Amino acid sequence: MTATAGVCCSPIAREPLSETDAAELAALLKAVADPVRLRLLSMIGSHPGGEACVCDLTDAFDLTAPTISHHLKVLRTSGLIGSERRGTWVYYWIIPRQVARLGELFTPLAEPAVTV
């Protein structure tokens, strides 16, 4: 543990990751390691009503519909988003627990302790 200017750093994890958890989290991180997928995830997560139609997402990108579909499939396969077809459109929503797992990985357990 290092100290800088009297502040000690808190650990960011309760315990080291198991092999299974590490593999699962690596898949989630790989899914969001693309700028398009990261933007899609943020657009879906911040959309009013908690879900977004694919028609609400495609205009934000200078990409073809099949490319957008591929990126959405990667997010869906990783378990970060869910989807449902309604007529001709597909609607997407965030899977909160999966997205929270990413956040938990980088959220410190406590505020840094101030040493005197």
Domain membership of residue 97 as a residue range: 3-114
Looking at the structure of the chain, the number of domains it has is 1
* pLDDT score of 106: 75
* pLDDT score of 6: 53
Give tens-digit pLDDT for 51-91: 999 999 999 999 999 999 999 999 999 999 999 999 999 99
Helix (H, G, I), strand (E, B) or coil at 1: coil
Domain with 63 in it: what CATH number? 1.10.10.10
Whether 102 shows a pLDDT value over 90: the answer reads no
With residue 104 as reference, give the H or E element that holds it.
helix 96-106
Instruction: Tell me the pTM.
Output: 0.78
* pLDDT score of 13: 60
